[in-house]
Structure 1
Amino acid sequence: MEDKPPLLDGSSYKVAISQYFEEMSKLIRDTLKTRWPDLKFSIIMTNPTDLAKKLRKLCVNVHTMLCL
């Protein structure tokens, strides 16, 4: 990790990943609303079953934040 550039504002990788998914979610929603205004949809994130329980919980929390 020493050869990696630091994250902006000293953020953690968890915050950076969360912000990335949040912005991607906004972009997807805006694009779909522009092209198909009457479309009803949900964004679903999946994760492999072999991930550790703690990591699965983190993924669910990120997904929950995106739905707000």
Structure 2
Amino acid sequence: MRVEVDTGMCIGAGMCALTAPEVFGQDDVEGVVVLADERPPPHLHAAVRDAVDRCPAAVIRVHERG
């Protein structure tokens, strides 16, 4: 799994950081998503997919192969 985020379109809701804090954080100044782990380990994949579903701005993309 490879994760991408579009920080330019992020609205700073923070659902990703709450759902998968090992993979996502938030910028202290702007509040937008910060990707902490572009290639999370398998035990975090379900949480990453959940974060994708919960993102109100739909700025997280997951590439299952890659």
The TM-score with structure 2 as length reference comes to 0.24
Bigger relative CO (Cα 8 Å, ≥ 6 apart)? 2
Larger radius of gyration: 1
Q: Between Structure 1 and Structure 2, which shows a larger proportion of strand residues?
A: 2
Q: Between Structure 1 and Structure 2, which shows a larger proportion of helix residues?
A: 1
The TM-score with structure 1 as length reference comes to 0.23
